[in-house]
Structure 1
Amino acid sequence: MSISAKDVMKLREATGAGMMDCKKALTEADGDMEAAIEILRKKGQKVSEKRAERDANEGLIFTKLSDDNKRASAVELNCETDFVARNEDFQDQAKAFLDAAFAGKINSVDELLKEEVDGLTIEKHLESMVGKIGEKIEINRVVYVDSDGTLIDYIHPGNQLAVIVEFDGNLTDDQVGKDVAMQIAAMNPLAVTRDGVDASVIDKELEIAKEQLINEGKPEEIAEKAAKGKLRRFYEERVLLEQKFVKDNGITVKEFLEQNNAPLVTSFHRLQLGEA
């Protein structure tokens, strides 16, 4: 039977075994995860199991932007220690994986694992890195964006926070774009506009605000109306175009763009090390 890269990664997460060992075990077990774990244990994976218990919370994020600002990629490569993340070989591998994602227009970890770099799949490169370094190493996220407008990327010093932001049209001043990307990095908005905020999040915020007001002694009818006022403040804090611009709190991000004759933002990706 065919064994997917996703299942291989899942087994690797559960056991810490090498990718090829996981694939062989899954093949032998006809895809049964529990049976594959038993096979690995019978083959002496005790040391590796201890590795799987550790978290790969360190690492680096890199971005790549095309010269015409129409295409962009980001890759997050994780490891267990900052010492490994600072290693030049680790950084070179991360950049090679990024180049592969960019060239292949890849937007998922499963797809990227199948791509080849220097004659080997990235899946095999990761297995080799785990064996050589002795740490849990994994690709956490891959982002690929193409646009008819303008893309701007931003990497916060240290390569642990990255932003790709898309503008609805031609952006003549890159610094305006960088300022908005830095805004997203600093203020962590949920969406570009109110329409982009998930309905379940809004319902939860309304419920919390209403309960707070009722606990303060407000009648339910008044609390319900007042909760909507609190929701407006929530939008001002978590919706990008309504946020106060970090470099000038007297205006919103939308007003900043309008004042600079810049197109509005249509989408963004914010990657912070270790987040899902």
Structure 2
Amino acid sequence: MLKKISAEDIKELRSKTGAGMTDCKKALEASDGQIDIAIEALRKKGLASAHKKFSRLATEGLVESYIHAGSRIGVLVEINCETDFVSRQPEFRQLTKDIAMQIAASQSVNYVSQVDIPDNVVSYEYNLELEKEDILDKPANIKNKIVNGRLDKRLKELCLMNQYFIKKTEITIDELIKQHIALWGENIKVRRFERFILGGGLKVNNNDLENEVSSMIQNK
């Protein structure tokens, strides 16, 4: 029988490793609540102590580009680190390329993380979920629970850090970044990105040839 993981267990593991709450919970569940095994697992994944470096200033790094086959989708992404030494490492260059490719492949992603989502977008998505027909007749408490759950899922869909890494689908981009933080002992941040889609933003003329010819005849 699996041991029930308590909040106290998670806090203890976090205090010993510095890993995030979610990572600690997953490690404890995988180790059946055994702290020592969970610590070892977090260290192997490079997650222990990574979060402690998140507040450190990162002003170096790279701007990387990715152009998808066919040249119809392109991405520019800026990823920061603390020193130019790390920014010159082949592993850091590969990380930036992988992140740029991830953005190109994740068409629903518009933000780096949930803290970057504007309040008006959150409100719009909330109201959209609130008005869905399948929950209109449900009691208020149940409706709110469903809406909040769906909203959380939707907001994660919009954020890069919550996506599963396309080259290694058992980890998220957030976990990928943490592994590289642990590798070099420096803070690493995805600062911003821009996706370019061929023809994006252009007004499309929906008139077909027949309508154009008809219009020309009528205007003679």
- After TM superposition, the score normalised by the length of structure 2 is 0.54
Question: Which residue of the partner structure matches residue 249 of structure 1?
Answer: 169
5 Å-filtered alignment, 1:232-271, equals 232-261=152-181, 263-271=188-196
Q: Is the 8 A contact 2:77 2:193 kept in 1?
A: yes
* Aligned-residue offset at 1:208: 1.6
Considering Cα pairs closer than 8 Å and 6+ residues apart, tell me whether 1 or 2 has the greater RCO: 2
In the alignment, structure 1 segments of 5+ residues that lack a partner are 1-146
Please state whether the residue corresponding to 1:271 is helix, strand or coil: strand
Alpha-carbon distance in 2 for matches of 1:235, 1:225? 15
* Aligned-residue offset at 1:161: 0.9
Q: Is the 8 A contact 1:242 1:254 kept in 2?
A: yes
Question: Which residue of the partner structure matches residue 46 of structure 1?
Answer: none
* Aligned-residue offset at 1:205: 1.2
Please state whether the residue corresponding to 1:153 is helix, strand or coil: strand
Q: Is the 8 A contact 1:235 1:242 kept in 2?
A: no
5 Å-filtered alignment, 1:98-137, equals none
Please state whether the residue corresponding to 2:111 is helix, strand or coil: coil
- Determine whether 1:208 maps to 2:133: no
5 Å-filtered alignment, 1:28-107, equals none
Question: Which residue of the partner structure matches residue 78 of structure 2?
Answer: 166
Please state whether the residue corresponding to 1:165 is helix, strand or coil: strand
* Aligned-residue offset at 1:271: 0.6
Please state whether the residue corresponding to 1:245 is helix, strand or coil: coil
In the alignment, structure 2 segments of 5+ residues that lack a partner are 1-58, 202-220
- Determine whether 1:220 maps to 2:143: no
* Aligned-residue offset at 1:236: 2.3
- Determine whether 1:180 maps to 2:99: yes
Alpha-carbon distance in 2 for matches of 1:271, 1:227? 32
Computed over aligned residues only, the root mean square deviation of the Cα atoms, in angstroms, reads 2.0
Q: Is the 8 A contact 2:62 2:96 kept in 1?
A: no
Change beyond 3 A, Cα 1:225–1:199: same
Alpha-carbon distance in 2 for matches of 1:260, 1:149? 13
Alpha-carbon distance in 2 for matches of 1:219, 1:247? 43
Q: Is the 8 A contact 1:213 1:223 kept in 2?
A: no
* Aligned-residue offset at 1:213: 6.4
* Aligned-residue offset at 1:237: 1.4
Greater per-residue strand proportion: 1
Please state whether the residue corresponding to 2:169 is helix, strand or coil: strand
